[in-house]
């Protein structure tokens, strides 16, 4: 449904800094152009050189082919953060094509990127959506054009619902192996939007896109997905999440380096700047902030704004308030023409604290009041961010109250003033401790619903949910999948001889070994008793067997403290879904029968289910 432009709210909301852009397929039907489009996702700088060589007059291109090459050039320059100065002329030249021609439409969409959010922007988006609605829904040209428009719309929080609807349409129609690229692109855009409200769902979509891009060696796209993953972890703000965010930003930086994209490296550095400030690693933060700001300076984008604010916060933490104020002084909340949302609050909050450090109490109080107003406006836009906002609002209100009280009490005796400040510090510290305990308990309760308390792995219920999702995903994408039911050998004898504490240690040690040995995309959870369920995605039978043997070798090296003579060995029944299988329960039953065969054959081995088996006796544990 296309909403009236007047009914939309003109507000752009960013997770922390502006998201980098992702390449997209073109759907031109031209093998040379589509190969270049994929190369943009690998190494955009080299791809741009090849595109510009193709656009030389000597090629004598038709109007249509030249228009598609210009679309590819605009995409490559967008990835590299370069100005698209030739785009207006390219649009004029392409007007020789019929109105609504996909090449002309894609050029016009490319010209929308970076536009300030306004009524005219909404009108253009509506116009493009209407034109796309006239094209066949399941054709590559249509799907790629929708992805391109959705990736532009994703920059604006006011268009979240429409962006998600448009990208979802592509995601559901790109349901064949031939359209895998387009499905991955759609998953990337959906993940970008979903991360603003639901980190878990956003990361799930993000992971799907990442797996495809990694398989294709599309390093720049990999860098983009890792960057978005880093933003989602950074948004949770607890120490563990910030450390995960830092790892994702470092991986993004490495992928951008492989793609030879300095713009991608700069974005990763900007992400590191933010999380290192919050982790209190100020020396590293200063380096990351300075390095990224050198490249971002002058681009006139909100990313430059947010990095300046983070850099100033790092300088303030480094006891350099004068340098922090030098950075903040030229900024206003409206710079550079975008509504910077959460960073409006961050700007006033940081500047207010800087004024406080410089002894400017009146200016500090004024800025902190503005910070509270910005935070209240931002808070009203998203219920999902309420917990973080309430904590931030509490801190600012407390600081504001302390500053005003200090100013009033300056006329009173030094002893009374010191006593009140001391009491205030104690109260704030206790309240912060209470807030941290409540937040930590909330995470613990959520984790308890999905986690086996003994091993720390997913519990049976959550394992079943994830396994069913993997099964349906593999079936829809026509990918290979193996389900393995694992049973620790002679576990009952371990319990009988050494006691149940030794049995618990065996289960815990096996879980740790599995987590360290299995691949990032593999799923393992505790099925019950001494049984575990393992889901191996996207591999053939030989590789599945090797993964199980690698796990077996690693487990054999473990020596239990409470049961030193008990060998940590297992038997496994493995099954590959066929077209007749309809549920994960059916597959587990087949794997269970194969497990019995492994036990009968002497244990400490894996058996693959070839055909349905009948009347197989169950060996003793």
Is the pLDDT at 182 greater than 60? The verdict is: yes
| Beta-bridge partners for 451 | 458
- What pLDDT shows up at residue 343? 65
Residue 115 in tokens: 């536009």
Q: Is the model's pLDDT at 437 over the cut of 90?
A: no
CATH superfamily ID and name for 460-608: Reverse transcriptase/Diguanylate cyclase domain (3.30.70.270)
Burial class (CB in 10 A: 0-12, 13-18, 19+), 6: exposed
Q: Which residues of 54-78 are buried (b: 16+ CB within 10 A; e: fewer)?
A: bbeeeeebeebbbbbbbbbbbbbbb
- Whole-number pLDDT of residue 27: 82
Same fold for the domain at 15-211 and the one at 218-326? yes
State the catalytic residue, choosing from 86, 530, 576, 585: 530
pLDDT digits (tens, 9 = 90+) for 534-545: 999 889 999 999
Choose among 119, 120, 194, 160: nearest CA to 12: 160
pLDDT for 10 beyond 60: no
Higher pLDDT pick, 154 / 404: 154
Closest CA to 54 of 37, 42, 41: 37
Q: Is the pLDDT of residue 96 over 70?
A: yes
Q: CA nearest 152: which of 200, 189, 202?
A: 189
Please, which pLDDT band fits residue 372 given cuts at 50, 70 and 90? Answer: confident
The answer to whether residues 168 and 153 touch, using CB atoms and an 8 Å cutoff, is no
Phi, psi of 528 (to 5 degrees): 150, 140
Burial of 156 (0-12, 13-18, 19+ CB in 10 A): buried
Provide the pLDDT for residue 2: 35
Cα–chain center distance at 388 = 18
The confidence score (pLDDT) of residue 340 equals 53
- pLDDT score, position 390: 39
Q: Which residues contact 444 (CB under 8 A, 6 or more apart)?
A: none
Domain boundaries, the chain: 15-211, 218-326, 341-448, 460-608
Asked whether 511 and 526 are in contact (CB, 8 A), the reply is: yes
Is residue 114 within 8 A of residue 91, CB to CB? The reply is: no
Least confident stretch, 119-128, 296-305, 483-492, 600-609: 296-305
The per-residue pLDDT of the chain, averaged, comes to: 81
pLDDT tier at 335 (50, 70, 90 boundaries)? low
Q: How confident is the model at residue 505 (pLDDT cuts 50, 70, 90)?
A: very high
| Residue range 218-326, CATH number | 1.25.40.10
| Residue among 230, 232, 186, 228 nearest 209 (CA) | 186
Structure tokens at 279: 């982790």
**Whether pLDDT at 15 is above 70:** no
CATH C-level class of 15-211: mainly alpha
pLDDT digits (tens, 9 = 90+) for 545-587: 999 999 999 999 999 999 999 999 999 999 998 877 778 899 9
Q: Which residue has the tokens 């391109």?
A: 148
Among the residue ranges 94-103, 131-140, 367-376, 606-615, the one predicted with the least confidence is 606-615
What does the pLDDT look like over 237-279, one tens digit per residue? Answer: 789 989 999 999 999 999 989 988 888 899 899 999 989 998 9
Residue scoring higher pLDDT (534 or 168):
534
Which tokens hold the place of 551? 């796990």
Using DSSP's 3-state secondary structure scheme, residue 213 falls into helix
Residue pair 61/183 in contact by the 8 Å Cβ criterion: no
If one compares 210 and 423, the residue with the highest pLDDT of the two is 210
In this prediction, residues 167-173 reach a mean pLDDT of: 86
What confidence score (pLDDT) does residue 367 get?
84
Q: Are 485 and 554 in contact (CB under 8 A)?
A: no
- For residue 62, give the nearest of 30, 36, 15, 89 by alpha carbon: 30
Q: Which residues of 592-604 are buried (b: 16+ CB within 10 A; e: fewer)?
A: bbbbbbbbeeebb
Residue 34, pLDDT above cutoff 90: no
Q: Which band of pLDDT confidence, cut at 50, 70 and 90, is reported for residue 114?
A: low
Q: 359-383 burial, b for 16+ CB within 10 Å, e for fewer?
A: ebeeebbebbebbbebbeebbebbe
What is the mean pLDDT of the segment spanning 453-476? 88
Q: Is the pLDDT of residue 602 over 90?
A: yes
pLDDT exceeds cutoff 60 at 619: no
Per the annotation, the verdict on 384 as an active-site residue is no
The pLDDT of residue 476: 83
CB distance 250 to 268 below 8 Å? yes
**pLDDT single digits (tens) 377-416:** 655 554 433 333 334 344 444 455 555 666 666 666 666 6
Residue 67 contacts residue 87 (beta carbons within 8 Å): no
């Amino acid at each position: 449904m296309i909403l009236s432009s007047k009914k939309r709210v003109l507000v752009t909301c960013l997770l922390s800094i502006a998201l980098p852009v992702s390449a997209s397929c073109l759907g031109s039907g031209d093998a040379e152009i589509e190969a270049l489009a994929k190369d943009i996702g690998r190494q955009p700088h080299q791809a741009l050189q090849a595109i510009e060589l193709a656009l030389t007059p000597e090629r004598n291109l038709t109007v249509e082919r030249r228009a598609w090459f210009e679309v590819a050039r605009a995409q490559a320059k967008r990835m590299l953060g370069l100005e698209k100065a030739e785009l207006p002329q390219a649009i004029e030249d392409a007007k020789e094509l019929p109105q609504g021609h996909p090449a002309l439409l894609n050029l016009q969409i490319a010209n929308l990127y970076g536009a300030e959010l306004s009524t005219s922007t909404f009108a253009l988006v509506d116009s493009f959506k209407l034109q796309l609605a006239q094209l066949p829904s399941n054709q590559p040209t249509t799907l790629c054009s929708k992805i391109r428009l959705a990736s532009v719309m994703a920059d604006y929080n006011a268009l979240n619902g429409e962006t998600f609807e448009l990208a979802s349409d592509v995601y559901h129609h790109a349901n064949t192996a031939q359209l895998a690229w387009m499905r991955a692109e759609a998953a990337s855009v959906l993940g970008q939007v979903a991360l603003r409200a639901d980190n878990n769902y956003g990361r799930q979509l993000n992971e799907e896109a990442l797996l495809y891009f990694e398989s294709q060696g599309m390093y720049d796209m990999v860098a983009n997905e890792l960057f978005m993953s880093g933003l989602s972890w950074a948004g949770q703000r607890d120490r563990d999440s910030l450390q995960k965010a830092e790892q994702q930003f470092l991986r993004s930086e490495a992928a951008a380096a492989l793609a030879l994209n300095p713009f991608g490296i700069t974005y990763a550095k900007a992400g590191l700047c933010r999380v290192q400030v919050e982790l209190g690693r100020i020396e590293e933060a200063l380096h990351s902030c300075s390095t990224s700001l050198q490249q971002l300076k002058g681009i006139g984008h909100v990313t430059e704004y947010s990095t300046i604010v983070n850099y100033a916060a790092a300088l303030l933490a480094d006891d350099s308030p004068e340098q922090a104020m030098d950075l903040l002084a030229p900024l206003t909340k409206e710079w550079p023409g975008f509504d910077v949302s959460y960073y409006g609050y961050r700007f006033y909050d940081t500047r207010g604290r800087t004024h406080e450090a410089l002894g400017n109490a009146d200016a500090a109080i004024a800025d902190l009041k503005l910070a509270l107003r910005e935070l209240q406006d931002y808070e009203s836009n998203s219920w999902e961010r309420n917990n973080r906002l309430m904590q931030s609002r509490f801190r600012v209100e407390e600081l504001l109250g302390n500053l005003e009280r200090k100013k009033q009490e300056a006329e009173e005796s030094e002893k009374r003033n010191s006593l009140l400040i001391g009491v205030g510090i104690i109260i704030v510290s206790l309240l912060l401790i209470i807030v941290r305990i409540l937040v930590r308990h909330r995470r613990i309760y959520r984790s308890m619903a999905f986690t086996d308390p003994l091993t720390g792995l997913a519990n049976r219920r959550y394992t079943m949910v994830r396994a069913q999702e993997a099964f349906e995903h593999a079936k829809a994408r026509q990918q290979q999948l193996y389900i393995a039911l694992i049973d620790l050998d002679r576990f009952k004898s371990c319990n009988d001889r050494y006691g149940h504490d030794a049995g618990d240690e065996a289960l815990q040690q096996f879980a740790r070994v599995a987590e360290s040995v299995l691949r990032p995309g593999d799923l393992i959870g505790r099925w019950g008793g001494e049984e575990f369920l393992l889901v191996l995605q996207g591999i053939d039978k030989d590789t599945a067997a090797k993964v199980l043997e690698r796990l077996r070798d690693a487990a054999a090296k473990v020596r239990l403290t409470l049961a030193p003579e008990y060998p940590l060995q297992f038997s496994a029944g493995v099954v590959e879904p066929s077209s007749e299988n309809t549920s994960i329960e059916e597959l587990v039953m087949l794997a269970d029968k194969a497990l019995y065969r492994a036990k009968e054959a002497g244990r400490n081995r894996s058996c693959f289910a070839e055909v349905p088996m009948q009347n197989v006796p169950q060996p003793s544990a």
